Amino acid sequence: MSVTSAQPRTPSTEPQSRALRIAFRGLTAIEKVGNRLPNPFWLFWILAGIVAVLSAVPSARSAGTASWPSREPSTTTRPSRRWPPSAP
């Protein structure tokens, strides 16, 4: 038996379980996509422009909004009580 035949075992950087391999592959994919994104300054302005365009389109088409109830008292409800009550 030769001393040179025994190779020292080095710890592997690859995860051993299948779930960890899948997780690391997913994280690697996310990292690659993230590296392709523009600078956060420009990303902010690009997304702000998209939001502005997406909100201007319905506005130009005169999209209605939900109407809130009127502040006028209704004839079917009691008038509101004042607090504190007025002195007699």
pLDDT at 21: 92
pLDDT digits (tens, 9 = 90+) for 7-50: 666 566 655 799 999 999 999 999 999 999 999 999 999 999 99
What is the pTM (predicted TM-score) of this model?
Answer: 0.43
pLDDT band at 60 (very low <50, low <70, confident <90, very high): confident
Task: Please tell me what DSSP assigns to residue 22.
Answer: H
pLDDT at 88: 59
**Residue among 32, 12, 33, 14 nearest 22 (CA):** 14
Given a contact cutoff of 8 angstroms between Cβ atoms, the answer to whether 24 and 15 are in contact is: yes
